[in-house]
Amino acid sequence: MAVLVVADHDNQALRDTTLKTVAAAQSLSNEIDVLVLGHGAESAAQAAAKIAGVRKVLLAEGEPLGRMIAEAVEAVIVPLMAGYDALLVPSTSAGKNFAPRVAAKLDVMQLSDVVQVVDAETFVRPIYAGNALETVRSSDAKKVITVRPTAFKAVAGEGGSAPVERLSASAEAPGTRFVNEEMVVSDRPELGAAKIVVSGGRALGSAEEFRAVIEPLADKIGAAVGASRAAVDAGYAPNDYQVGQTGKVVAPDLYIAVGISGAIQHLAGMKDSKVIVAINKDADAPIFQVADYGWVADYKTAIPALMEELGKSGK
């Protein structure tokens, strides 16, 4: 069977999510092609060509594709699928946006957020905020799959030398026009890929406090910053920081939750982290039930003490 993987990239480099989605694809087939969509994405296509085990890279460019406008992406992928048995897309906001469109056009029921490939027909996916895992067999002739990247181990991004083929397919989105974007500019690692994540919750009380407490701690240990829904709703942190069932799913080596109670919707986004630290002044907060290291303390004294301790040993 032939499998098409859609790359996640920033035009220059591939994101880790691409290498993890290729890993999921490898449990299905050895005939893996990678599709790079973008605008000025030649470098990303060259990077994709180096992924170990990739047969061919397809590159389609255009302005709507640079914005990942779903209608344009659909127009490129649907005709390509005549030559593939499965489409694998990382579960990013862009992937979640266009993949179901492709599935509907192919008359296929999508497999969302797959965390395990059992065989070519059978997949495991979380439901109910990750409180249950369902193993489903799809009877569709072609599979459209969004892959939860944190559940797979990245393949090597080096060692391959696949040819890059430029597609001339049209990619129009006549009903949709890009207006603008407001991206959070930061030198910190990306939340989805970071080895350490420091997240703040409602306890922080204001955007100023969030910036003064959570961000310096994150910077001290090279972490990405996350937040609970309550913190985002209240405007302490940008929407893009939300970790959880309906935000980002992360699985870093170390997750530090500061002033977060541990609602199931939040746990859904971080409970697969390797080590979890919880700092909360309420000893009964549910977050302690999943924390490897719990510290019952007021963050107002705990975080400065932690900063000092980390400073002492030169970190």
Partner 1 sequence: MKVLVPVKRVIDYNVKVRVKPDQSGVDLANVKMSMDPFDEIAVEEAVRLKEKGSATEIVVVSIGPSQAQETIRTALAMGADRGILIQHDAVVEPLAVAKLLKGVVAEEQPGLVVMGKQAIDDDNNATGQMLAALLDWPQATFASKVELTGEGANVTREVDGGLQTLSVKLPAIVTTDLRLNEPRYASLPNIMKAKKKPIDVKSPADYGVDPTPRHTVLKVTEPAKRQAGIKVESAADLVMKLRNEAGVL
Tell me which residues in 256-275 interact with ligand FAD (CB under 6 A): 259-261, 263, 265-266, 269
Would you count residue 244 as binding ligand FAD (CB under 6 A)? Answer: yes
CA dihedral 217, 287, 148, 186 (to 10 degrees): -20
Q: Which of residues 215-234 bind partner 1 (CB under 8 A)?
A: 221, 229, 232-233
Would you count residue 228 as binding ligand FAD (CB under 6 A)? Answer: yes
Q: Do residues 280 and 257 make contact, with C-beta atoms less than 8 angstroms apart?
A: yes
Would you count residue 284 as binding partner 1 (CB under 8 A)? Answer: no
Of 96 and 202, nearer to ligand FAD (C-beta) is 202
Q: Which residues touch 55 (CB under 8 Å, ≥6 apart)?
A: 30, 31, 32, 33, 162
Q: Which of 18, 26, 92, 228 is the binder for partner 1 (CB under 8 A)?
A: 92
Would you count residue 242 as binding ligand FAD (CB under 6 A)? Answer: yes
Max CA-CA distance within the chain?
Answer: 61
Answer positive or negative: Cα dihedral of 200, 201, 204, 206: positive
Q: Tokens for 215?
A: 């961000």
Smallest distance from ligand FAD to CB 103, Å: 23
Would you count residue 167 as binding partner 1 (CB under 8 A)? Answer: no
Q: Tokens for 113?
A: 């957020």
Q: Which of residues 28-87 bind partner 1 (CB under 8 A)?
A: 67, 69-71, 74
Of 9 and 266, nearer to ligand FAD (C-beta) is 266
Partner from partner 1, ligand FAD, none contacting 300, C-beta within 5 to 8 A by type: ligand FAD
Q: What is the DSSP string of 248-300?
A: B----SEEEEES----HHHHTTTTT-SEEEEEES-TT-GGGGT-SEEEES-HH
**Which stretches of the chain bind ligand FAD, using CB under 6 A?**
201-203, 228-231, 242-247, 259-261, 263, 265-266, 269, 280-282, 285, 298-300
